[in-house]
Amino acid sequence: MSGLVLGIETSCDETAAALVDEEGHVRSSVVASQADLHARYGGVVPEIASRHHLELIDAVTADALERAGVRLDDIDTVAVTRGPGLIGALLVGVSSAKAIAATRGLPLVPVDHLHGHVVASTLGENPVEPPFLCLVASGGHTFVARVEEPAVYEVLGQTLDDAAGEAFDKGARLLGLGYPGGPAVDRLAREGDPGAFDLPRSAPGELDFSFSGLKTALLYAIRDLGDSAQSRAADLAASYQRAIVDALVSRTRTALELTGIERLAIGGGVAANSELRQAVTGLGVPVWVPPVELCTDNAAMIAGAARFLEPVEYPGYLSLDAAARL
């Protein structure tokens, strides 16, 4: 695959478009977050998300083109998140990408959103080279994968229940913090003592994760504190965050030991977490930590992943469907 890639991402509540060249330089990356719109409901409302994607997608794409100083006629390939995600939200991106590509007879690359998170560190000035291990922790998924070549990733271990981001969001709700919860817990935890509460680090398997018990333990800790829970919120947040980060780091350490791979990358919204970003630097191997805007959902990682994939030529993709699960 060659040339300039326009990436489009609408799997959840971020409407995003980006331009990435074949060397992996991000020429522009625009993300319109709907988080504020969903905050009052305490989470993403799928129907509202689809409607806003529809309203925003053209403007976001135009903005990405303008910031990169290019026109649609300069694009060589269109890449789009095909799944996993909210089906109505994905459909907006897929339809828009098909329309842009088809009217110009351009090739289209359907991209797995999680592959985007896995290869986020291949973008920019200091790209990670395979073989590497990648810890992906987002709102819907948490896994450790082995990447021997950038077109594919092999999941070695994953969460058996909640994702790490989901654990952050649910914990934040129990602590009375807003949505999305991860950034709020991250901020509050800085003022607390991570050793104040002894919360469980469940180990369901050598490389698998489980976060649902941790969330329940936080619920009980808050209940036991009664009226004083409010004044201990920072300690609770710090202890809860430490438990999540410990679980992520310990499985990653095991995966490095078992595979002997000596490069680590991290990705997904939880990779924006300040404590996790710090903790992975102590694993004894070189670590690629993407800038925060490439950790949370964005279209640059989708265009980036497309560089490694086989494009579908026009008109083969006209029957392409979005997929809530891949």
The binding site for ligand KG4 (CB under 6 A) comprises 12, 138-140, 165, 168-169, 180-183, 186, 268-270, 272-273, 296-297
Nearer to Zn ion, 242 or 277 (CB): 277
What SS3 state is found at 309? coil
Tell me how long the chain is: 326
Return phi, psi of residue 230, to 5°. Answer: -60, -45
CB of 108 closer than 8 Å to CB of 320: yes
Name the residue nearer to ligand KG4 (CB basis): 165 or 311.
165
Looking at beta carbons only, is 93 or 311 nearer to ligand KG4?
93
Find the binding residues for Zn ion in span 297-326 (CB under 5 A): 297
The partner in contact with residue 107, picked from Zn ion, ligand KG4, none with C-beta cut-offs of 5 to 8 angstroms by kind, is none
Q: Which is nearer to ligand KG4, 168 or 197 (CB)?
A: 168
Alpha-carbon dihedral angle through residues 276, 214, 14, 189, given to the nearest 10 degrees? -50
For residue 86, the partner it binds in Zn ion, ligand KG4, none, with Cβ less than 5 to 8 A by kind, is none
In the complex, the smallest distance separating the C-beta of residue 117 from ligand KG4, rounded to whole angstroms, is: 6
Question: Residue 83 binds which entry of Zn ion, ligand KG4, none, with Cβ cut-offs from 5 to 8 Å by kind?
Answer: none
Write the single-letter amino acid at 159. T
The pairing of strands 108-112 and 77-83 is parallel
The item of Zn ion, ligand KG4, none sharing an interface with residue 182, based on CB under 5 to 8 Å by kind, is: ligand KG4
Query: With binding defined as CB under 5 A, does residue 112 bind Zn ion?
Result: no
Q: What CA–CA distances, in Å, run from 211 to 270, 288, 318?
A: 14, 25, 40
CB of 248 to ligand KG4, least distance (A): 10
CB atoms within 10 A of CB 87: 16
Q: Residue 193 is inside which H or E element, if any?
A: none
- Collapse the DSSP code of 253 into the 3-class scheme (helix H, G, I; strand E, B; otherwise coil) and give the result: helix
Residue 243 interacting entry, from ligand KG4, Zn ion, none, C-beta within 5 to 8 Å by type: none
The residues pairing with 184 across neighbouring beta strands, listed in sequence order, are: none
Between β-strands 77-83 and 26-33, what pairing exists: parallel, antiparallel or unpaired? unpaired
Q: How far is the CB of 152 from Zn ion (least distance, A)?
A: 18
Task: Indicate which of ligand KG4, Zn ion, none lies near residue 296 (CB less than 5 to 8 Å, by partner kind).
Answer: ligand KG4
* Residue count, binding to Zn ion (CB under 5 A): 2
Verify binding: residue 138, Zn ion, rule CB under 5 A.
yes
CB nearer to Zn ion: pick between 140 and 150: 140
Give whichever of 112 and 169 is closer to ligand KG4, judged by the CB atom.
Answer: 169
Helix (H) or strand (E) holding 25: none
* Torsion from C-alpha of 242, 245, 247, 250, nearest 10 degrees: -110
Residues forming contacts to Zn ion in the complex (CB under 5 A) are 138, 297
